[in-house]
Amino acid sequence: MITVVVAPIEFDGTEVELRGDAYHHLFRVRRLQAGESLRVVDGEGRARRGVVARVDGARAVIAFGAGEPANEPARRVELWVAPPKPDRVAWMVEKATEAGVTAIRFVATGRTVREGRSPGAAMLARWHRVALAAVEQCGRARMPDIDGLAPLAARLAAATASARRVVVLDAAGARGAAPLLGAPGEPAELAILVGPEGGWTEAERAEFAASGLPLASLGERALRVETAAVVAAGIALSTGLARADSR
């Protein structure tokens, strides 16, 4: 079923009006007609059935029906990533959104800073549009948060404050899925820390060791940053495939 994202404030009424890009895509490209059904989501985890009530020359009205399953994983997984090249970030955002991650947060590492890869507002807005299209493509109900660059130390401090579990991807880590799947009694929220193309510095590895963070390896092959991020997220989310209820 076709999914469309609307603003949360529009979600609580009895109907919503679509104009602009959303109208063009659904009623000019996809050629939806009056009476057809679709999913309407608010980007914050809620979903409802909608029916096309009216279609005019430049707008359409969707009447809301009953709640729908959110199609969200039960587990909350974030990607903390040293950003690769912008075109590769777009691919990562698309695939990670479809996989079900809750957030994609960029991390400034020693090698990231030297390469000068700090996404600006225009780039973040572009990636937000990529994520929105991916939400509509896969039928989930939540838009992932996409944050700009923050120092590694700040990200780790935030994890400590929130009691979020952090796993570091590193070739020297434990092989297999266990570090990413976790164990009973560990925090349900997980952040997967993905380093830059050149790998972690020795100082960063020492910081991970001092903080007691587990290392996880995805195998012998050298994966690109965006590939490693998506593969690791898929493994971590494989234990949380049950759909959350619509709220």
The angle formed by the CA atoms of residues 170, 192 and 181, to the nearest 5 degrees, is 95
Confirm if 38 and 32 have CB atoms less than 8 A apart. yes
Name the phi and psi angles at 149, rounded to 5. Answer: -70, 135
Burial class from Cβ neighbours inside 10 Å (0-12, 13-18, 19+) for residue 142 reads buried
pTM of the model: 0.90
Q: For the chain, which domains are there?
A: 3-67 (2.40.240.20), 77-237 (3.40.1280.10)
| Rounded alpha-carbon distances, angstroms, from residue 4 to 59, 62, 137, 217 | 14, 10, 9, 37
The angle formed by the CA atoms of residues 167, 177 and 234, to the nearest 5 degrees, is 80
92 Cβ contact partners less than 8 Å away, ≥ 6 residues apart: 79, 81, 84, 104, 225, 226, 229, 230
Q: Backbone dihedral region of 227: left (phi > 0), alpha (psi from -120 to 50 degrees) or beta?
A: alpha
- Confidence (pLDDT) at 160: 81
The model's confidence at residue 246, banded by pLDDT at 50, 70 and 90, is very low
The model's confidence at residue 242, banded by pLDDT at 50, 70 and 90, is very low
- Confidence (pLDDT) at 240: 53
